[in-house]
Structure 1
């Protein structure tokens, strides 16, 4: 018995020692880097005391006496809670992921170095107005206060043996450029169309509506020839797919709407927004309440890296965003005089390119050299050489975000907007991303505007990469704020945006041809047809799970029968379904599988293996095996 007691005592002692060791390890590795949320800290860089408070939900409230001090407080709060996220985003913007990720980061580094996001961000920071620069400097000082403090850095830094460099204003602007990249879809749509044309030829591609009806078949054929042989499959798409792992991207179904007081119980406008960015941990957004003395007070979600509210409201106005799908990017085919790409062809003969040699440092491996080539249209993001024909070409990206703008200034002016006029003016200098904006104010007005630069082109867009040596691919200007789509207080008393088409054919300027389908907008219009709506009802609308296209498919399936017992059983289940995408139901899975197989069977006879490109689908999931 005594031996048993001794063994049990020894086991208990070991357990206690292990528990103490775990507690110490937890303290050293995890809790030691948690932010300090109580007490007073003496810091340099502020003109008056700044209160940074966290409520029971952990949401941050910054109370300062000036705009600059509020920016400092937000920099401190962001760095306390999201420093590793900010560091990763900064390294993506700068093309320095490989320095900590090793060879896995080379693809994203090459891609982003070619784009030159940080080069544009630095130029934009230099050009910023004094007040905007003061805002960004104060924010950077707040971030650096945390970096330079004696507290331990987050666990990720210690595991990777990294020390963050000082934050700079250009890094803040770069954070917005990175978000804009993830929300811009025009160039990859052009690449996909090009892949379809290479695989099928212009006639069959046009029959499948791979390009819009106003595209000229002759131009399509010219685009195929200029872009190189069919076997030269684009390497840019898989490179972007790899890079997309590091870039905040649209989830594909953002919704926003605003209803005037004429249709609400309270008699005041109600505005709702659900920006469906792809889910990440931590979130892309950071909720905060910010008071900058008498200057402004705003509440909503911020973007770690930038100081103030992106989506939310101030004392006078509320606003929300959805991706507009405005056509703000063009891929331009450039022709070079040699493999070195030192000169490119124009309507005036060959002109010198701009060459930048970028060295990519790779952890546990040798450095990589990336030779960045730029033309008048933009950076060359992919080479499409044809050595057999002695033709040296590349795809240059012409994008609104690659010319310095004033998005940081737009963000500051947005916090101060007090009515529809000042709200519209706030967006006048914003370059990217282009967004649908819904608006409501305390005086009962509701509105819509399209923000971000929209280019005016010399020729009608084809939705495909176009040859750059004629000069027709150049943009002539951007639409002025007065030319952009906008409306105030529509007679319907409701405005809905769901990535759907923005304007009709009668609109005098080209905005885009690539919108998402209008099913969600149609469903929202049905749900928002009520005359007496309140916040609780809006929450129900936000959580609506009914799929209009699923209902249409169900209706068609009700009149069919299948010979296969398994297929008939699945059809019968779908035919009894109401189209609601309940997570616990099997019918949504059956519906998705059916639609994928329907696309395969319908498109394969015409497209062959290219049907996946036409359908824009992926059957790699085991459920489709």
Structure 2
């Protein structure tokens, strides 16, 4: 009830702001639209050593040219704040847990969770551990951001919320990498869901939600690439008392809700693709590298395209506003791409009741209300996440009658993170060998790096701090000392290959494997993404030796459904309950499995699959909406098929019932004429605004949506997120780097360079992104089209 009242108050405040804007009419819109963003002319700035040329191309991408690397990075900070000031402000408020200060009481629980995790404190510990050269570049970036604050009008969000930004700091410039680690490492959420499944059905419940790996599934490394003695097996910890599992699941419920409320919980189908081929596989005889990281779609988009050149610094690609480096991209002679490894780098510990704990007080400022003081507790393993949301969580005791205290052990919370060193050094790399040296400083989040250079070398590394454990890791474990990490995988033993035997490396969040030829295991076999995307990419590559940029682009945009191929026989055997179900099955029988926007069959299958993925939600909660491959496991085992409220007791009945639910819902939303149930009529790609998404008027102004193709686990990902079938995770950025002629490479973001809806480049990349087009990833001015020239000069 309290949460509902708080939500209503926040809504009233935002609705009032909306009414003010509407009442002001055109003048209100002009007030929001006002921008002072010098894109041309000359701007004198303190902190520069020499003049810097910033040339924005026809897509608003800045091409920065400076005589020193520090001035180049200074200019990157300047343009980041010019175009994305609200994004940078919002990100640092997430890191620091200060959302309630601007969004009001509805954000208090988010702040409580963020303070409990202590991301800001981790960033403070990371900065001193970086190399002096990195610290120097970070300071130059910070100076550039602060210089832009004095030269740029506040973004419209600042005006709506009535706030002003504080000066940027070096800690701010490294802190968002901590949140990227959180976004890409949600194993603790899976552990809580697994505990719920275990409490309900024992090991069978876990197997139904997290089925073991299928022998022969596509792995990143082949037997030839990674031939080693077999690793020792891991022991399972599913033998816990089911009542204790229930207590553990209840204790962690608040932390699970917090992760979902921040949009940073693990999502089935959320992932990335990257692959690289050497010259033996290409038309030109030189390597080609492809990458498209799949993340939450946001407005503004996460990435900011940039071309940064100083004395030695030569990097072009995707940066993240707030961070002083190109995160994915290329130099003049080297390219890299990343996908999430998905290694299990988190463990929940059930602490003994006498475990020593430390505590600290945190004060959360709340807009319009008194400050809220919270106590953050930690054990030797990490923060006590069971303290989050305790007022809403049911009190469930274990077999000993005591509630459970859960601590989170996570590599990203260890002090001294040097990941920023690695990314900055990649911006200087000239060869694959240089990159490997840079990656030795990499900590978190563990990523699959594919690498290529103009000398013809290609390779793959999965660096990062990877814990070594002797148990599978899919359930919380006792904190009594019986389940401790024995160290970390040495860098030379992480999965890697230089010069793969096949001439190609493909990663799509699948198992680096193969299991029978691994060194220390990165995780149990249940954590990897379903292999549909990886297998489809491998199938498209085949034995081809004529690959080029166009072929890579077609592969990135492929929307053939692997789940349909796997599940179709079982689904088509369903006995329908009504005529609409029969007509739906008749249409599916002739479907080729290609999820295009004009396809009615895609709508039927994806809407049905969404419900089947929710077979366990009536018993385990909405967070237990499963991965695609788990649907087959549940239909085979029958553990979660029954639904007493719906009168369903068998999997055959569940199939018929969910098919009728599907056709009833589609008829209600799209009309009785099945021919009008095209995928594009209901399946939108939604870029939601972090603060205003879902708020009337403001949400429509600041968020963005477009009808899209693709579906669950297609290479071009577009898995439905909710009953309305829209998708909010997708390919957040795409690049194709041609090492035969690097300036012929291509890239595109998911929305546009601008942060404000009225920025001239706010959404101009969106239709290109949707339709599989892209823009030149070129450092040559003749490729930039129409340009704006801005010169930054030293003041005085």
TM bin, normalised by shorter chain, reads 0.7 to 0.9
Higher mean alpha-carbon deviation, 552-561 vs 58-67, is at 552-561
Check whether the contact 1:216–1:462 (CA below 8 A) recurs between aligned residues: no
Task: Give the match for residue 128 of structure 1.
Answer: 130
**Aligned match of 1:534 in 548, 552, 557?**
548
Higher relative contact order (CA 8 A, sep 6+): 2
Task: Give the match for residue 562 of structure 2.
Answer: 548
Confirm or deny that 1:565 pairs with 2:579: yes
Give the deviation of 1:502 after TM superposition. 0.8
Question: 3-state SS of the aligned residue for 1:416?
Answer: coil
1:66–1:407: structure 2 CA closer, same or farther, 3 Å change rule? same
Higher mean alpha-carbon deviation, 105-114 vs 44-53, is at 44-53
- Cα deviation, 1:135-171, whole Å, max 9, x if unaligned, reads 111111111112234x421121122111111111111
Task: Give the match for residue 208 of structure 2.
Answer: 208
Check whether the contact 2:290–2:337 (CA below 8 A) recurs between aligned residues: yes
Task: Give the match for residue 777 of structure 2.
Answer: none
Question: 3-state SS of the aligned residue for 1:590?
Answer: helix
Check whether the contact 2:236–2:472 (CA below 8 A) recurs between aligned residues: no
Question: Hey, what's the Cα distance between the residues in 2 that align with 1:334 and 1:253?
Answer: 32
Task: Give the match for residue 680 of structure 2.
Answer: none
Question: Hey, what's the Cα distance between the residues in 1 that align with 2:38 and 2:475?
Answer: 53
Question: Hey, what's the Cα distance between the residues in 2 that align with 1:143 and 1:387?
Answer: 51
Give the deviation of 1:609 after TM superposition. 5.9
Question: Hey, what's the Cα distance between the residues in 2 that align with 1:55 and 1:248?
Answer: 36
Check whether the contact 1:74–1:139 (CA below 8 A) recurs between aligned residues: yes
Give the deviation of 1:622 after TM superposition. 5.8
Task: Give the match for residue 257 of structure 2.
Answer: 238
Check whether the contact 1:227–1:333 (CA below 8 A) recurs between aligned residues: no
Confirm or deny that 1:487 pairs with 2:497: yes
Task: Give the match for residue 104 of structure 1.
Answer: 106
Higher mean alpha-carbon deviation, 357-366 vs 593-602, is at 593-602
Question: Hey, what's the Cα distance between the residues in 2 that align with 1:623 and 1:478?
Answer: 41
Task: Give the match for residue 439 of structure 1.
Answer: 451
- Cα deviation, 1:527-570, whole Å, max 9, x if unaligned, reads 11222111111111111111122123335556776574322211
Give the deviation of 1:418 after TM superposition. 2.0
1:623–1:137: structure 2 CA closer, same or farther, 3 Å change rule? closer
Larger radius of gyration: 1
Question: Hey, what's the Cα distance between the residues in 1 that align with 2:549 and 2:112?
Answer: 47
Task: Give the match for residue 380 of structure 1.
Answer: 384
1:427–1:319: structure 2 CA closer, same or farther, 3 Å change rule? same
Question: Hey, what's the Cα distance between the residues in 1 that align with 2:454 and 2:153?
Answer: 45
Question: Hey, what's the Cα distance between the residues in 2 that align with 1:582 and 1:371?
Answer: 51
Confirm or deny that 1:578 pairs with 2:597: no
- 1:114-125 matches, within 5 Å, as 114-125=116-127
Task: Give the match for residue 367 of structure 2.
Answer: 363
Normalised to the residue count of structure 1, the TM-score between the two structures is 0.86
Check whether the contact 1:114–1:381 (CA below 8 A) recurs between aligned residues: yes
Task: Give the match for residue 158 of structure 1.
Answer: 159
Task: Give the match for residue 460 of structure 1.
Answer: 471
Question: Hey, what's the Cα distance between the residues in 2 that align with 1:112 and 1:598?
Answer: 33
Task: Give the match for residue 508 of structure 2.
Answer: 498
Confirm or deny that 1:517 pairs with 2:530: yes
Task: Give the match for residue 228 of structure 1.
Answer: 247
**Aligned match of 1:280 in 298, 304, 320?**
298
Check whether the contact 1:197–1:224 (CA below 8 A) recurs between aligned residues: no
Question: 3-state SS of the aligned residue for 1:109?
Answer: helix
Task: Give the match for residue 6 of structure 1.
Answer: none
Confirm or deny that 1:508 pairs with 2:522: no
Task: Give the match for residue 144 of structure 1.
Answer: 146
Check whether the contact 2:247–2:397 (CA below 8 A) recurs between aligned residues: no
Check whether the contact 2:317–2:326 (CA below 8 A) recurs between aligned residues: yes
Give the deviation of 1:26 after TM superposition. 5.5
Give the deviation of 1:110 after TM superposition. 0.8
Task: Give the match for residue 3 of structure 1.
Answer: none
1:622–1:125: structure 2 CA closer, same or farther, 3 Å change rule? closer
Question: Hey, what's the Cα distance between the residues in 1 that align with 2:206 and 2:504?
Answer: 37
Check whether the contact 2:174–2:420 (CA below 8 A) recurs between aligned residues: yes
Give the deviation of 1:464 after TM superposition. 0.7
Give the deviation of 1:580 after TM superposition. 0.2
- Cα deviation, 1:197-238, whole Å, max 9, x if unaligned, reads 1222x2432553647597767653158627737766722222
Check whether the contact 2:189–2:266 (CA below 8 A) recurs between aligned residues: no
Question: 3-state SS of the aligned residue for 2:359?
Answer: strand
1:590–1:38: structure 2 CA closer, same or farther, 3 Å change rule? same
Task: Give the match for residue 677 of structure 2.
Answer: none
1:545–1:133: structure 2 CA closer, same or farther, 3 Å change rule? same
Task: Give the match for residue 336 of structure 1.
Answer: 353
Task: Give the match for residue 606 of structure 2.
Answer: 592
Check whether the contact 1:250–1:276 (CA below 8 A) recurs between aligned residues: no
